[in-house]
Amino acid sequence: MHTSFEGELGDRSAWALEHCSIAMTMDAIGQRSSILILREAFYGITRFDDFVRFTQGSEANVAVRLKHLTGLGLFTKHPYQDHGKRTRYEYVLTDKGSDLLPALFALLQWGDNYLQPEGTRPLRLEERATGEPVRIVARGASGTDLSLNDIAIIMDSNRASALTKNV
Amino acid sequence: MHTSFEGELGDRSAWALEHCSIAMTMDAIGQRSSILILREAFYGITRFDDFVRFTQGSEANVAVRLKHLTGLGLFTKHPYQDHGKRTRYEYVLTDKGSDLLPALFALLQWGDNYLQPEGTRPLRLEERATGEPVRIVARGASGTDLSLNDIAIIMDSNRASALTKNV
DNA sequence: ACCCTGACTTGATGATGTAGTAGCCAGTTC
DNA sequence: GAACTGGCTACTACATCATCAAGTCAGGGT
């Protein structure tokens, strides 16, 4: 076994779903269409019809998702006006939205490594300043890259003891 | 606009869904129950009934998901035998599965930062060797942490030109 | 020989996500 | 002021996700 809990493992079950950040995050943005919209936002897209075109989703669903993500505070709506057109709104990532960068690009990186046909690398991420490749990694304070074996998962002990054991 | 494509942006639409690693990854492991099972695997869980208990999923669905993820090569089945019991199989993460660590923990980290009630931090990730906190970050070759503004997304140009423009 | 248990499998049912079509509405063009 | 357009909403239909309940099946225990 790689990882270990420094705490009472048995008490996790009640806590697991209700307080787990991974489950909460999946419920908030886990829909495929939300992820694709966020992808386009990271690529620089801001306008409704561009989200529709590039995600190849239906207008109806993109509207629902943008409203949902805006309601969560991942996007803010900024008015703009093209020449000869009426005022529209563009959807701009907030800090809360931008902070999903590691999550989104980690999915990209894994898909590139394991799901793309051999030799394919449709997108590349570069550090703008140097042109060097960008990787998503787990890092310790010392700056080293960490793998699963290097990481301990620690549960707050007074939270652990507050849970009922319904295993 | 933060990020920019060094390439023909317009040609992306046809490519976007069929070859996008993010979409492919979501199709492979994007179901909520798959993510929760992978979470438990990272926490060290290997046995069927533990996955059921800790994800609070139905036996039926956990069986389907484990079979699916095993078929994808994220888990391998290893036989084990408890005293006085017949042989069972435990589900052990492969390298392909373990490499989802940045993706899973990035979701955890974001949820911790933005979705948890104020002052709550149910789980903490520590570097085992030093006890220092672990973070998931985008890093350049020079070792620096990068934000969206620092990253350029680059499209392979001969792939770009091969695409039909159906915008 | 019979029961029991753990790990599934099967089948029926409900919940959610997404597409498709159609319609609305504010402003812009004519 | 009539037609057009882009952005959105409403409604319907379908596919997938997930649950529940029941059944199967391979062994071990007695």
Q: Chain A contact for B116, CB < 8 A?
A: yes
Q: Average of pLDDT values for A117-140?
A: 86
Q: Which of A126, A102, A43 is nearest to B20 (CA)?
A: A43
B49 C-beta less than 7 Å away from strand C? yes
Residue A163 in this model has a pLDDT that exceeds 50: no
B75 found inside a domain: yes
Residue A113 in this model has a pLDDT that exceeds 80: yes
Please tell me the total count of domains within chain B.
Answer: 1
Q: Which residues contact A134 (CB under 8 A, 6 or more apart)?
A: A105, A125, A126, A127, B138, B139, B140, B146, B151
Question: What pLDDT is stored for residue A7 in this prediction?
Answer: 46
Q: Chain A contact for B130, CB < 8 A?
A: yes
A87 C-beta less than 7 Å away from strand C? yes
Q: Which of A59, A33, A91, A92 is nearest to B23 (CA)?
A: A33
B4 found inside a domain: no
Domain that holds residue A51: 5-162
Residues of B in contact with A102 (CB under 8 A): 102, 106, 109-110, 136-138
User: Which single residue is written with the structure tokens 């709550």?
Assistant: B120
Instruction: Answer yes or no: do B110 and A103 touch at CB < 8 A.
Output: yes
The pLDDT tens digits of the residues spanning A64-104 come to 999 999 999 999 999 888 777 788 899 999 999 999 999 99
Residue B147 in this model has a pLDDT that exceeds 80: yes
Higher pLDDT, B148 or B120: B148
Question: What pLDDT is stored for residue A31 in this prediction?
Answer: 96
Q: Which residues contact B64 (CB under 8 A, 6 or more apart)?
A: none
Q: Average of pLDDT values for B84-93?
A: 88
Asked whether B10 and A53 are in contact (CB, 8 A), the reply is no
Question: What pLDDT is stored for residue B139 in this prediction?
Answer: 93
Q: How far is the CA of A83 from the C1' of C12 (A)?
A: 57
B2 found inside a domain: no
Q: How far is the CA of B27 from the C1' of D16 (A)?
A: 12
B84 C-beta less than 7 Å away from strand D? yes
Q: Chain B contact for A160, CB < 8 A?
A: no
A90 found inside a domain: yes
Residue A50 sits in a domain of what CATH number? Answer: 1.10.10.10
Q: How far apart are CA B42 and CA B105, in angstroms?
A: 9
Question: What pLDDT is stored for residue A18 in this prediction?
Answer: 63
Q: How far is the CA of B139 from the C1' of C9 (A)?
A: 46
The pLDDT tens digits of the residues spanning B127-142 come to 998 989 999 999 988 8
A123 found inside a domain: yes
A145 found inside a domain: yes
Q: Which range among A150-154, B58-62, B159-163 has the greatest average pLDDT?
A: B58-62
Q: How far apart are CA B102 and CA B99, in angstroms?
A: 7
Q: Which of A127, A123, A100, A128 is nearest to A113 (CA)?
A: A123
A167 found inside a domain: no
Residue B158 in this model has a pLDDT that exceeds 70: no
Residue B120 in this model has a pLDDT that exceeds 90: no
Q: How far is CA A79 from the centre of its chain?
A: 26
Q: How far is the CA of A43 from the C1' of D5 (A)?
A: 27
A84 C-beta less than 7 Å away from strand C? yes
A117 found inside a domain: yes
Question: What pLDDT is stored for residue A4 in this prediction?
Answer: 52
Residue A13 in this model has a pLDDT that exceeds 70: no
